[in-house]
Structure 1
Amino acid sequence: MAGGLINFRPIARVVSVLLLIIGVLMWTGIPFSLYYGETPLPLLYAGLSTVVAAALLWMIPRAPRDSLPRPADLTIRKREGYLIVALSWTAMVLFGMLPYLYSGMLPKVPDALFETVSGMTTTGASTLTDIEIHPRGLLYWRSLTQWIGGMGIIVLTVAIFPLLGIGGIELFAAEAPGPTSDKLHPRISETAKRLWFIYVGLTVLLGILLVVFGMSPYEAINHALTTMATGGFSTRNASAAAFSPAIQYLLVLFMFLAGVNYTVLYLSFKRRWSQVWQSDELKAYVSLIVVVALFLTARVWYITGLPLEESFRDSIFQTVSLITTTGFVTADYTGWAPSLTMICFVLLFVGACAGSTSGGIKIIRNLVFLKNSYLEFRRIVHPQAIIPLRLNGQIVSGRIITHIFNFLLLYLILFVFGSIVLSVLGLDFLTAIGAMATSLGNVGPGIGNVGPMDNFAWLSAPVKIFLSFVMIVGRLEVFTVLVLFTPYFWRLN
């Protein structure tokens, strides 16, 4: 059936626009290179290569007249939407690593690939052993890759789809972070614009406040980009520990905001407080942070003997950083106590709110699982009763519950399978489960030899390539990538 054929022309058009954006954004690092007396050629040539590739993709000819259904062959359907997401991320990663390769900053492809994927997926794991010796322009690009991936550059492209004559609802559903489909505006392009307005606005605000609090303008720009993206790349070897307590508290606040559902943030800015506090996920998010942070504070204060304020600051910082999957560090949580290390390891799986820039499973999925498990006990006692699951006062359909349970099971299977693969590739048990958990959840630091005071430079090339794939699977919510490996996706009807 002709309608079952995959239409590659709109896919090429969208990937072309994305590469054009990536290429132009690379050039925004050139002023930093010139200001600090560095050669801008790697960023110049990388941007030029990307823009040329974008132009070539745009010129892909129209499909044969009778091979696709009318109307025009720029229609995006469900399958094209998923392919656009997968191919866009592949293209962004392949071209995004060019500055590292052209400059010699990361001359080996596995290292450049890992660093780029970690940036685009906002994971924050790094192969750089001494960050501060590298050119400022390239470190800016490294930070910018996280900001690009934070909300998903495809959402930005959805905002300009009207200019291309392409409808983007399927694409937004495939890329928008989290399992919810809350809309700020009935038109998807307007939704994307509002999301990016919030995203850009908070980034600019944080950058200004970081300068006010004593950070240099260059470092403020970099940390504003990676904080709002919940990414965690820093320009300092010591990460957030290199800055003052005031800056650390400021980062905690904005990491928290970055982990909130952007629909809720929008309602907050509109002062619709009654709607904001209807969110069960937001209540669970705040409650979890408060409970874990206070517990860690008490234990860290007792175990380490640090001053109470420092114990609280390190505890609240690491709690928010791990739950939001940002990955900034101020302390080595693996050195506190085995029990606290285990708590921090569990946080690698939690994630913040759906519809935020964070990775992980997401609070709402965990909340649905816990609520439904609790209700199952009531159903056992009262088998004839109809006891629906409610969130935000509304009944959650059985289809959504099934989807979430399938996601959780598949996430667990991937974690176990990936940990076994990493063990076969030579990693010890703690490092294998730590690397897999932090990569699948897009967090950054893990446990074992990839903890908060370590990096990923020592890993073998096969491990880096495997973890790069895992990071993409985690960032795109598992199903978006794995559906491409099923025979059903490629059938014509």
Structure 2
Amino acid sequence: MSRKLIFHTLGNLLICLAGTMLLPLGIAIYYYFSAGEPKEDLFAFVYATVITLCVGLILRFTIRPAEPELGIREGFAIVALGWVFVALFGSFPYLFADVFSAEGRSPLEEFSFCYFESMSGFSTTGATVLTEIEHLSHAMLFWRSFSHWLGGMGIVVLAVAILPMLGVGGMQLFRAEAPGPQTDRLTPRIAQTAKLLWGVYILLSVLETLLLWLGDMTLFDALCHTFGTMATGGFSTKNGSIAHYDSVYIETVITFFMFLAGTNFALHYRALRGDVKSYFKDTEFRFYCVVILSSILLVSWNTVRFENVDGQIPYDSVWVSIRHATFQVLSITTTTGYGSADFEMWPALSQFILVTLMFYGGCAGSTGGGMKQMRFLLLIKQSGAEIKRLIFPHAVLPVRVNDRVVPPEVLTHVLGFFFFFIGIFAIVTCIMATLGLDLITAAGCTIATMGNIGPGLGDVGPIDNYAHIHTAGKFVLTFCMLLGRLELYTVLILFSPNYWKK
């Protein structure tokens, strides 16, 4: 494994990150002169940009790899360390602007706040430690949301091109189906796939921004909420999230684009090429639609017919229940995390459905988090095959998806992924409970960060935040965001002694 190649590539990544910081820097300059916003935020972005650029240049030009060929081992390290480095340097604007400084708060505690917020942004989780979002400057609000969008750009290519080539992720079944030229070399394929999928990503982002701008949003808010939607992140510029606007039009637009963001981007590419039928031919997409529609119907029925824990029926109108059920089901399923209502005030069945959807997540090849619809689909099909095998013990019963036989190693991967996911979920829940959280909050914050959702249950619900979490707990949950975003194996493999052997 070439460590020089790894750090050389990380240097290139940091140079790109420094370039993206120029946008919020420009916004900070504009609002400093036009609206008198704090100059501390302006200088924070100057310092962060300069430091990030300098470190990137040092890594790029002082570490020159002997072999520029990118291998699988280097790929794992670059993907995992890349997210860690980007989140670290992406936290500098918060740190230099003293966004989380408070009397009696130690430097380590302050850093835990900054790194949590940054990792939440770049991993498109959307969990926040901010208590007053609307007190932030425009530059900081933009950077929070923009970090989502940048993370989403990385995830699109990561999910459809990089992880399948490394043999990881829900898309490895379709590694030959990603758009772009077919080649055995990793780098050319990634470059071609990136251009195609980023084109789709940017096109949808522009379209959503324009549609939201036509509503009750300013252009700035429309842009920030588009960043959060297309990346399935969920950071808002308002304390009340989408509920702040109380607009059916805005909720409808965001719901539609959350649905698209939770769909395999390779399907969007094919649709734009004229093959719209590819959506309906795709088994995972059909399964995704069934899960969403059935959940909406159940939650709508439950919230208009049954009482919550306070003995009240949440909605007295079927239309209102359908409106909020649709938005929240899409928000949780796609792991966006926007809120149009406080679902903790819903009946127990509705809350249970939403928690279940937190595990499901979006489709493979989307910006959504969670376990992915494809894995649940394969698990259900495999379970059905095992039941049939009990009746017909000598029958050959292959599992098929999209008229293709699923290789046994993929099914093994799915079972292993479920084992690791549930095991880590249980361990982290126990750790968070040990740090003083009640069991519901501990489980809620664990699945909300591992699934890259954002809001959980209990004291980290849709109207709460993560500021009260113990410092150690913040670092644990930050690691959970990374694990969930990189499909577990990409991170866990770095802890294997065999990985580091020649």
- Regarding TM over 0.5, the answer is yes
CA distance 1:169–1:144, change in 2 (3 Å): closer
Partner of 2:404: 394
Q: State the shift of 1:120 in Å.
A: 0.8
Which aligned pairs between 1:124-135 and structure 2 lie closer than 5 A?
A: 124-135=126-137
Q: What is the Cα-based RMSD across aligned positions, in Å?
A: 1.9
Partner of 1:488: 498
1:233 & 1:174 partners in 2: Cα distance? 31
8 Å CA contact retained: 2:433, 2:442: yes
Task: Give yes or no for the alignment of 1:16 onto 2:19.
Answer: no
1:62 & 1:340 partners in 2: Cα distance? 55
2:162 & 2:329 partners in 1: Cα distance? 35
2:234 & 2:403 partners in 1: Cα distance? 35
Equivalent residue letter for 1:102: F
Q: List gaps (5 residues or longer) in structure 1.
A: 1-5, 64-71, 160-167
Partner of 1:372: 382
Equivalent residue letter for 2:50: L
Task: Give yes or no for the alignment of 1:83 onto 2:77.
Answer: yes
Partner of 2:98: 104
Partner of 2:21: 26
Which aligned pairs between 1:323-402 and structure 2 lie closer than 5 A?
A: 323-402=333-412
Moved more, 180-189 or 233-242: 180-189
Partner of 2:266: 263
Partner of 1:238: 240
Q: State the shift of 1:9 in Å.
A: 2.2
- Percentage of matched positions with identical amino acids: 36
Partner of 1:7: 2
Which aligned pairs between 1:446-461 and structure 2 lie closer than 5 A?
A: 446-461=456-471
Task: Give yes or no for the alignment of 1:274 onto 2:257.
Answer: no
Partner of 1:3: none
Q: State the shift of 1:444 in Å.
A: 0.5
8 Å CA contact retained: 2:369, 2:451: yes
Q: State the shift of 1:178 in Å.
A: 4.7
TM-score (norm: length of structure 1): 0.92
1:357 counterpart SS class = coil
2:213 & 2:21 partners in 1: Cα distance? 24
Partner of 1:198: 200
1:482 & 1:184 partners in 2: Cα distance? 28
CA distance 1:271–1:336, change in 2 (3 Å): same
The one of 217, 226, 234 aligned to 1:215? 217
Partner of 1:68: none
The one of 279, 284, 293 aligned to 1:290? 293
Moved more, 177-186 or 49-58: 177-186
CA deviation map 1:188-208 (0-9, x unaligned) = 321111110011111111111
1:144 & 1:177 partners in 2: Cα distance? 26
Partner of 1:73: 67
Task: Give yes or no for the alignment of 1:309 onto 2:319.
Answer: yes
The one of 319, 323, 332 aligned to 1:322? 332
Which aligned pairs between 1:50-69 and structure 2 lie closer than 5 A?
A: 50-62=52-64
Q: State the shift of 1:154 in Å.
A: 9.3
Which aligned pairs between 1:171-182 and structure 2 lie closer than 5 A?
A: 173=166, 178-179=171-172, 180-181=174-175, 182=177
CA distance 1:119–1:414, change in 2 (3 Å): same
8 Å CA contact retained: 2:271, 2:277: no
CA distance 1:19–1:251, change in 2 (3 Å): same
1:193 & 1:428 partners in 2: Cα distance? 46
CA distance 1:355–1:171, change in 2 (3 Å): closer
Task: Give yes or no for the alignment of 1:224 onto 2:226.
Answer: yes
1:183 counterpart SS class = coil
1:273 counterpart SS class = coil
The one of 450, 455, 458 aligned to 1:445? 455
2:340 counterpart SS class = coil
1:472 & 1:349 partners in 2: Cα distance? 16
Q: State the shift of 1:396 in Å.
A: 0.5
1:175 & 1:90 partners in 2: Cα distance? 19
Q: State the shift of 1:324 in Å.
A: 0.2
CA distance 1:408–1:170, change in 2 (3 Å): closer
Equivalent residue letter for 2:80: A
Equivalent residue letter for 1:8: R
8 Å CA contact retained: 2:170, 2:372: no
Equivalent residue letter for 2:210: I
CA deviation map 1:58-102 (0-9, x unaligned) = 122446xxxxxxxx5111111111111121111101100000000
Equivalent residue letter for 2:417: F
Equivalent residue letter for 1:188: I
2:288 & 2:156 partners in 1: Cα distance? 27
CA distance 1:172–1:44, change in 2 (3 Å): farther
2:350 & 2:442 partners in 1: Cα distance? 19
Q: State the shift of 1:169 in Å.
A: 6.0
Q: State the shift of 1:386 in Å.
A: 0.3
CA distance 1:490–1:131, change in 2 (3 Å): same
8 Å CA contact retained: 2:169, 2:487: no
2:442 & 2:234 partners in 1: Cα distance? 21
8 Å CA contact retained: 2:170, 2:374: no
8 Å CA contact retained: 1:174, 1:480: no
The one of 396, 404, 407 aligned to 2:414? 404
Partner of 2:476: 466
TM-score (norm: length of structure 2): 0.90
Q: State the shift of 1:307 in Å.
A: 2.3
CA distance 1:170–1:73, change in 2 (3 Å): farther
Partner of 2:428: 418
CA distance 1:460–1:46, change in 2 (3 Å): same
Equivalent residue letter for 1:463: G
CA deviation map 1:381-432 (0-9, x unaligned) = 0001101100011110101111111111111111111111111111111011
2:432 & 2:283 partners in 1: Cα distance? 37
Q: List gaps (5 residues or longer) in structure 2.
A: 102-109, 182-188, 306-312
2:6 & 2:55 partners in 1: Cα distance? 14
2:324 & 2:50 partners in 1: Cα distance? 43
The one of 274, 281, 302 aligned to 1:299? 302
2:167 & 2:337 partners in 1: Cα distance? 25
2:62 counterpart SS class = coil
Q: State the shift of 1:306 in Å.
A: 3.2
8 Å CA contact retained: 1:42, 1:102: yes
Q: State the shift of 1:48 in Å.
A: 1.1
